[in-house]
Amino acid sequence: MQNKNSRAGFSLIELMIVIVILGLLAAMVMPSLTGKGEEAKRDLVCVQMKSLYNGALDMFKLNNSLYPSTEEGLEALTKNPDEEKYPNYSKSGYLKDNKLPKDSWGNDFVYINDDGIVELISLGADRKEGGKNEAADIKMSECK
C-alpha cells in the first residue's frame, strides 16, 4: 500500500539535473547556429544580384546593345529612361511587376556601370557604405 503523504512527480534535484543537461546541450549547439542567419542573408543577396544581372540586365542589353548608365540606374529596367537612346526598349519593362528587388535587409541595390563593366552592390546589414565583417558591403563581383 502507498503512503498517503507520498507524492508523484519530480524532485528538485531531478529537475535541476534536467535543466543542467539542457543547458549543456544548448551551449554545444548555439555556437554552430549563431551567425548562420546573416550568412544565409548574404548568400541570398549574391543569388539576387546574379539573377538580376543574368536576367533583366542582360535582356536590357540584348534589346538595346548596352547596359543602362550609372545615372539611369536599375530604374531603367522598369521604365524607358530615354526613348531616343533605347528605341527597342521592352514595352513591359524587364522586371516582373516592374518592381525593383530589394536586398535581404530591405535596401535598394547600388548599380554602377563603368564603361560596360557592371557592378551591383548591397550595403549589407548596416545599410551604410563600407563596413567590416557582417556589416561589410556585398559586391556581385566578389560573390562565389
Residue 117: which CATH number?
Answer: 3.30.700.10
Residue 24 lies inside a defined structural domain of this protein: no
Residue 75 lies inside a defined structural domain of this protein: yes
Residue 2 lies inside a defined structural domain of this protein: no
- pLDDT of res. 135: 80
d(CA 29, CA 13): 25
Question: How many separate domains does the chain show?
Answer: 1
Q: What is the pLDDT of residues 5-14, one digit of tens each?
A: 666 777 888 8
Residue 89 lies inside a defined structural domain of this protein: yes
Domain that holds residue 107: 36-142
Q: What is the pLDDT of residues 86-114, one digit of tens each?
A: 999 999 999 988 899 999 999 999 999 99
Residue 120 lies inside a defined structural domain of this protein: yes
Residue 8 lies inside a defined structural domain of this protein: no
User: Model pTM?
Assistant: 0.73
Q: Is 143 left (phi over 0), alpha (psi -120 to 50) or beta?
A: beta
Residue 130 lies inside a defined structural domain of this protein: yes
Residue 83 lies inside a defined structural domain of this protein: yes
d(CA 129, CA 144): 21
33 Cα distance to chain centroid: 18
